[in-house]
């Protein structure tokens, strides 16, 4: 991770000395007086993922979150010998470390909501409704990929796990409002399509060998939701965002919303309950799995550090705190 810091002049030397002394930090530079808003010295460095949370704890204690600035970006490659030495000195593997401040910041961003979120969720639900009418598995996958809801589900899991009531409430409300709006607009579109003779109730109630599973949840629906939730949260905390695509095409939240909208608009009452259950099972399963995954990551990482300290391997890290993991 690359850190760009703006440090008040009265704390600059102390912060700089702490970074230079940390074996998990490399490529430390300082430009005195370079920053103007907020005013201070510009300090930049590269930090291994395993050391980042502990470095951030110290920076927060120095008041940089309030009086200065802290910005993090991911470094795709650092082939220099200095960077390799820092990585070797840090405990564990990069993917095993959770940078909690980044996770929380991303969660608040996801829970913020925007018109783009509502538009994407509505478009995905409408694509899913067309998939139901045409019995197209390809369109089901397309709707899953377009749907933006997993980021909000992950934010809900973070809020529940860290007991952040504000984040939990915002995430839950965004999920509810997003799906209600998407389902209502899709139902209106279905009514318009029925008015011009494009669809009728038989398009929903007829045998659908490729998409009938959407409104018929079973035990495997819960299993897939749990597995996808774990994989999604793990990919986000480990910085493996490319794995999220696999999560998107694993869960049937958006397809269930599309089926539900059609069932209401064209009145297929025997499918309304099944579609709603499928949607609820997937959202609840992913959220619960996310919370458990975060808990396991914290427990495993703390246990690993404790073993290293007992064995004396983590001696150079004696100044670090575990509070960044809480």
pLDDT in tens, 238-277: 776 665 666 666 678 899 999 999 999 999 888 899 999 9
Rounded Cα gap, residues 75 and 90, in angstroms: 16
How much is the pLDDT for 308?
Answer: 64
Checking if the pLDDT of 46 tops 50, the result is yes
pLDDT given at position 249: 63
> What's the whole-number mean pLDDT along residues 148-164?
92
pLDDT band at 192 (very low <50, low <70, confident <90, very high): very high
**pLDDT for res 320:** 43
Decide which of 214 and 13 is more confident. 13
Q: Which helix (H) or strand (E) holds 122?
A: helix 115-134
Surface-to-core class of residue 220, CB atoms within 10 Å of its CB (0-12 exposed, 13-18 middle, 19+ buried): exposed
pLDDT at position 324 over 70: no
In the chain, the percentage of residues whose pLDDT exceeds 70 is: 89
Q: How far is CA 142 from the centre of its chain?
A: 20
> What is the DSSP-derived secondary structure letter of residue 132?
H
**Alpha-carbon span 86 to 104, nearest angstrom:** 26
- Mean pLDDT highest for which of 129-138, 181-190, 199-208, 317-326? 181-190
Let me know: does 74 contact 239? Beta carbons within 8 Å: yes
The whole-number pLDDT of residue 90 equals 75
- Give residue for tokens 């490319």: 242
Which 3 state secondary structure label does DSSP give 37?
Answer: coil
- In the predicted model, what is the mean pLDDT of residues 49-71? 92
What percent of the chain clears pLDDT 90, i.e. is strictly above it? 54
| Residue position matching structure tokens 């760009």 | 4
Beta bridge partners of 4: 44, 71
Asked whether residue 67 carries a pLDDT value surpassing 50, the answer given is yes
248/246 Cα distance (integer angstroms): 5
Q: Span 129-137, mean pLDDT?
A: 91
CA dist 98 to 82, 103, 325, Å?
23, 8, 8
Q: What does the pLDDT average to over 8-34?
A: 93
- Which residues neighbour 310 within 8 Å (Cβ) at sequence distance 6 or greater? none
**285-312 mean pLDDT:** 80
Give the pLDDT score at 314.
Answer: 44
Query: How does residue 236 score in pLDDT terms, banded at 50, 70 and 90?
Result: confident
């Amino acid at each position: 991770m690359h850190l760009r810091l703006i440090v008040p002049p009265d704390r600059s030397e102390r912060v700089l000395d702490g970074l230079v002394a940390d074996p998990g930090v490399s490529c430390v530079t300082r430009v005195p007086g370079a920053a103007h808003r907020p005013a201070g010295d510009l300090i930049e460095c590269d930090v291994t993922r395993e050391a980042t949370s502990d470095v951030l704890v110290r920076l927060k204690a120095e008041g940089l979150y309030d009086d200065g600035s802290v910005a993090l970006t991911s470094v795709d490659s650092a082939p220099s010998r200095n960077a390799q030495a820092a990585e070797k000195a840090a405990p564990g593997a990069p993917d095993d470390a959770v940078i909690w401040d980044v996770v929380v910041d991303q969660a608040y961003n996801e829970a913020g909501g925007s018109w783009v979120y509502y538009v994407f969720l509505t478009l995905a639900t409408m694509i899913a409704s067309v998939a139901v009418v045409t019995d197209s598995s390809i369109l089901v996958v397309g709707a899953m990929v377009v749907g933006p809801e997993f980021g909000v589900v992950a934010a809900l899991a973070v809020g529940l796990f860290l007991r952040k009531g504000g984040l939990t409430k915002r995430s839950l409300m965004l999920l509810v409002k997003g799906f209600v709006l998407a389902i209502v607009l899709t139902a209106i579109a279905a009514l318009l399509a029925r008015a011009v003779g494009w669809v009728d109730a038989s398009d929903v109630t007829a045998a659908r060998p490729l998409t009938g599973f959407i409104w018929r949840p079973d035990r495997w629906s819960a299993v897939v939701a749990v597995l996808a939730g774990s994989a999604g949260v793990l990919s986000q905390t480990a910085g493996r965002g490319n794995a999220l695509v696999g999560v998107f095409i694993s869960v049937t939240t958006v397809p269930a919303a599309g089926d539900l909208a059609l069932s209401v608009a064209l009145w297929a009452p025997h499918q309304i309950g099944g579609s709603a259950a499928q949607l609820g099972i997937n959202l609840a399963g992913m959220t619960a799995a996310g919370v458990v995954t975060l808990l396991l990551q914290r427990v495993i990482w703390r246990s690993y550090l404790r073993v290293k300290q007992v064995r004396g391997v983590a001696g150079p890290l004696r100044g670090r705190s575990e509070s960044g993991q809480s």
